[in-house]
Amino acid sequence: MSFQITAQDSNSSARCGVLKLNRINLTTPLFMPVCTNATPKALDFVKLKEIGFEMVVCNAYHLFLRPGSSFIRENFNGLHEFSKWNNAILTDSGGFQVWSLGSSVKIHDNGVLIKSHIDGSLNDITPELSIQTQEELNSDIMMIFDDCPNPDSEYSLLLKSINRTKEWARRCKDAKKTKNLLFGIVQGGIYDDLRELSATHMTEIGFDGYAIGGLGLGEGQSKTYEITRNLDKLLPKNKPRYSMGIGKPEDILESVEHGIDIFDCVVPTRNARNGTLFSFNGKLNIKNTKYRDSSEPIDPNCECSICKNYSLSYISHLFRCGEISSIQMMTEHNLFFYNKLIDSIRFSIDNGNFREFKKNFLERYLNES
Amino acid sequence: MSFQITAQDSNSSARCGVLKLNRINLTTPLFMPVCTNATPKALDFVKLKEIGFEMVVCNAYHLFLRPGSSFIRENFNGLHEFSKWNNAILTDSGGFQVWSLGSSVKIHDNGVLIKSHIDGSLNDITPELSIQTQEELNSDIMMIFDDCPNPDSEYSLLLKSINRTKEWARRCKDAKKTKNLLFGIVQGGIYDDLRELSATHMTEIGFDGYAIGGLGLGEGQSKTYEITRNLDKLLPKNKPRYSMGIGKPEDILESVEHGIDIFDCVVPTRNARNGTLFSFNGKLNIKNTKYRDSSEPIDPNCECSICKNYSLSYISHLFRCGEISSIQMMTEHNLFFYNKLIDSIRFSIDNGNFREFKKNFLERYLNES
């Protein structure tokens, strides 16, 4: 693998890059739609490719439980053939699921005993098993199996946690048999010194890229930004950086400014299912009665197939009727918006006006009507 | 309008025809996906067009209540522009909803007082209002507002009902202002003489086509077939005939044999949402554990984009995960199957081997593995 920086903003850490994988050359900054179960929510991979996405994030733990990573390996030689998504796949290791499904787990130094949310079965997920799972899935980029504690945990617990993550990270690297990439994950909660220590752990072991984990879990926007800003100085410039679970459009812009290259977030798809739509003029909610009578598209300047075809009143009507087709339409529009946003960010960095783009975007976007 | 019979089966009443509308020439036999709220369920109109459907059925009563037919007229000049479906639309009048939403209505000779299932408002739907609604929606084919009683009603009630339908049919015809087509509806429950009388009523008034209403409501398959067979002799051969709500593949074949040209049914879309998939080798249910491990498509001979891309194990996995994308996939496949079935029926009539096609199809289809 190689990561080449193709453009560097002169006023910030924002940069464009090309991450060369066997399958595809990824252009960064890059946004990954969340495809936990090997599908986008309420859309299909064909649409994702049409929109222009180059990589998605799937979840190794979910797919280990169902349909089983060994099944996918034996029958399809991995996720790409199983799901017919031919662009890149990054798999999250499952560390985050230990946190989000918290009540069902027991963390020990060797791994995590976790109770399946599907059938109640107990599974002992170790760093080695996580890598085995991800290699069975044959994802292009794997994540280390990390310990992801509550962000409001005590300092002493977080210190113990990042040391555990360090050990697990080393075991993951040792367990890796394929040439698929492996990214480290920096944890440490809200403590700058722990984040710094965890970053040192990761860079000392050495990975193909570095992720910031445990963000967006309630620490607050300014803390998210502060952690990202501080880590910008500590993480190697010549490797891709991934801010896990981030984020809202404003969070992506801020993170790009601090040198982040890769993003994923449930916001565009989850918000679509709740009726919230993105546009460069700000968010809008389809439930608002004023859209019932609007023959305008979601965004008159948007070039997605939904905005080219359908009115707000039509989508609003379908949503009020509970029609699944409205969810599909809003999901497609929101993902198109996210792809357009990240394209525009890349374009602005390439053209040396990222800061100006960011300022102009936020003025329009946050000034919601 | 003109309806030309382009092929007549020599062994039965099966025929092919072309129904010329301003918008499009429809080729019959024809199947309409159900688009009650001006959308297919879990799919969009773009896909319906790709699959090859020429007409859909929308519901005038539902659209009268929400978003309002006058709204659609004023802002979009009708359903086509509102929904961006440029092929033909047939609207059902709402007579059937009086039956299916039975507890909320009071039928009187002038019309039906019906309580909205959406907001509880009372609306007095008259034949004139139904036609006005359908003309506001600007559907290509309108249906008369009929009285659709329970199929197990007493003879005397059914007699009263078909006389009421006769009066309402006349009032619908008188109320019609546009050149859009208007079809009559034959009612009469399970009684041959009432069906015959109702058919006489309709043909005496004279319509652009004739529908059989009140079928598939629990009267039993053999009774459905008997009613269809008897009406074949009574309805004019030179007008299109529409069997409302019919049906399953075997019902469509039987009805075509007795001279029916147009069909609509919720089965392909509703079954998809329940996991039942159609194929020329019989139905299958995605919940069956044997499909979890199958790397085969739903039907190896099917040319739909789902069968060309995805395995049963992938669809099964998505369905078990509760992913909306699995519903979309199964809906698309089932509608593709229905379109292929009706295409094959037309082809067989054109080629003079309808009976043989029917026999061969049923042998394969009903011999489910």
Do B253 and B275 have their domain in common?
no
Q: Which residue of A has its CA nearest to B85?
A: A309
Q: For A186-203, write each residue's pLDDT tens digit.
A: 999 999 999 999 999 999
- At B94 the pLDDT is 83
Do A260 and A271 have their domain in common?
no
What's the CATH number where B256 sits?
Answer: 3.20.20.105
Of A264, A286, A316, which residue is a domain's last?
A264
pLDDT at residue A335 above 60?
yes
Interval A155-161 mean pLDDT: 95
ipTM comes to: 0.96
Q: Is B12 helix (H, G, I), strand (E, B) or coil?
A: coil
pLDDT at residue A286 above 70?
yes
Which of B71, B293, B306, B317 to mutate: most A Cβ within 10 Å? B317
Joined together, the tokens standing for residue A228 give: 């990202």
Which of B314, B318, B327 to mutate: most A Cβ within 10 Å? B314
Joined together, the tokens standing for residue B237 give: 């051969």
pLDDT at residue A106 above 90?
no
Binary contact (A37, B292; C-beta < 8 A):
no
Q: What are phi and psi of A237, to 5 degrees?
A: -70, -25
pLDDT at residue A1 above 70?
no
Binary contact (A41, B75; C-beta < 8 A):
no
Interval A128-144 mean pLDDT: 98
Q: Give the range of the structural domain holding residue A305, as residue numbers without chain letter.
A: 266-369
Do B302 and B248 have their domain in common?
no
Q: For A207-265, write each residue's pLDDT tens digit.
A: 999 999 999 888 899 999 999 999 999 999 999 999 999 999 999 999 999 999 999 99
A254 with A229: CB under 8 angstroms? no
Binary contact (A324, B328; C-beta < 8 A):
yes
Task: Return d(Cα A193, Cα B363) in angstroms, integer.
Answer: 74
Interval A20-41 mean pLDDT: 97
Q: How many helices (H) and strands (E) does chain B have?
A: 15, 16
Do B214 and B302 have their domain in common?
no
Residue A46 confidence class, pLDDT cut points 50, 70, 90: very high
Q: How far is B84 from chain A (nearest CA, A)?
A: 7
What's the structural domain count of chain B?
A: 2
B277 with B338: CB under 8 angstroms? no
Binary contact (B37, A323; C-beta < 8 A):
yes
Residue A132 confidence class, pLDDT cut points 50, 70, 90: very high
Q: Which residue of A has its CA nearest to B47?
A: A325
Q: Touching check for B74 and chain A: CB below 8 Å?
A: no
The one-character DSSP state at A367 is: S
Strand order in the sheet with A111-115: A105-108, A111-115, A122-125
Do A275 and A297 have their domain in common?
yes
Q: Does A247 sit behind a cis peptide bond, omega within 30 degrees of 0 on the bond before it? A: yes
Catalytic residue among B140, B147, B251, B264: B264
- At A98 the pLDDT is 74
Binary contact (B313, A40; C-beta < 8 A):
no
Q: Touching check for B230 and chain A: CB below 8 Å?
A: no
- Rounded to the nearest 5 degrees, what angle is found at the Cα of A46, between the Cα atoms of A43 and A52? 100
Of A204, A233, A264, which residue is a domain's last?
A264
Q: For B141-192, write each residue's pLDDT tens digit.
A: 999 999 988 878 899 999 999 999 999 999 999 999 999 999 999 999 999 9
- At A359 the pLDDT is 97
Beta strands A209-212; A181-186: pairing state: parallel
**Which residue from A40, A41, A314 is facing B83, i.e. has the nearest CB?**
A314
Q: How far is B75 from chain A (nearest CA, A)?
A: 7
Do B119 and B84 have their domain in common?
yes
- At B1 the pLDDT is 67
Question: pTM score, two decimals?
Answer: 0.97
Interval A163-168 mean pLDDT: 97
**Which residue from A46, A83, A318 is facing B39, i.e. has the nearest CB?**
A318
**Which residue from A41, A313, A325 is facing B39, i.e. has the nearest CB?**
A325
* Residues in B touching A77 (Cβ below 8 Å): none
A53 with A32: CB under 8 angstroms? yes
- At A104 the pLDDT is 65
Do B181 and B258 have their domain in common?
yes
Q: How far is B181 from chain A (nearest CA, A)?
A: 25
Binary contact (A82, B327; C-beta < 8 A):
no
Do A128 and A140 have their domain in common?
yes
Binary contact (B313, A71; C-beta < 8 A):
yes
Beta strands A30-33; A25-28: pairing state: unpaired
B156 with B197: CB under 8 angstroms? no
Closest CA to A257 of A365, A364, A358, A362: A358
Task: Return d(Cα A152, Cα A148) in angstroms, integer.
Answer: 11
Q: What residue ranges of chain B have pLDDT lower than 70?
A: 1, 102-104, 368-369
Task: Return d(Cα B210, Cα B188) in angstroms, integer.
Answer: 14
- At B99 the pLDDT is 74
Task: Return d(Cα A348, Cα A256) in angstroms, integer.
Answer: 11
**Distances A314 to A135, A329, B62, B84, B265 between C-alpha atoms, Å:** 45, 11, 14, 10, 24
- At B104 the pLDDT is 65
* Residues in B touching A83 (Cβ below 8 Å): 314
Do B169 and B198 have their domain in common?
yes
Do A231 and A307 have their domain in common?
no
Q: Is B314 helix (H, G, I), strand (E, B) or coil?
A: helix
Strands (E) across chain B are located at 2-8, 15-20, 25-28, 30-33, 55-59, 88-92, 105-108, 111-115, 122-125, 141-143, 181-186, 209-212, 241-243, 262-265, 276-277, 284-285
Q: Touching check for B325 and chain A: CB below 8 Å?
A: yes
Q: How far is A260 from chain B (nearest CA, A)?
A: 31
A219 with A228: CB under 8 angstroms? no
Q: How many CB atoms lie within 10 A of CB A219?
A: 16
Taking the CA of residue A191 as centre, how many other CA atoms within 13 Å lie in the half-sphere pointing to its CB? 18
In DSSP notation, B134-149 reads HHHHT-SEEE------
Q: How far is A80 from chain B (nearest CA, A)?
A: 11
Do A216 and A288 have their domain in common?
no
Task: Return d(Cα B116, Cα B145) in angstroms, integer.
Answer: 17
Task: Return d(Cα A200, Cα A281) in angstroms, integer.
Answer: 41
Interval A15-44 mean pLDDT: 97
Q: Touching check for B305 and chain A: CB below 8 Å?
A: yes
Of B265, B297, B318, which residue is a domain's last?
B265
Binary contact (B39, A323; C-beta < 8 A):
yes
Residue A8 confidence class, pLDDT cut points 50, 70, 90: very high
Do A68 and A105 have their domain in common?
yes
* Residues in A touching B321 (Cβ below 8 Å): 37, 39, 66
Catalytic residues of A: 92, 264
Q: Touching check for B79 and chain A: CB below 8 Å?
A: no
Interval A33-58 mean pLDDT: 98
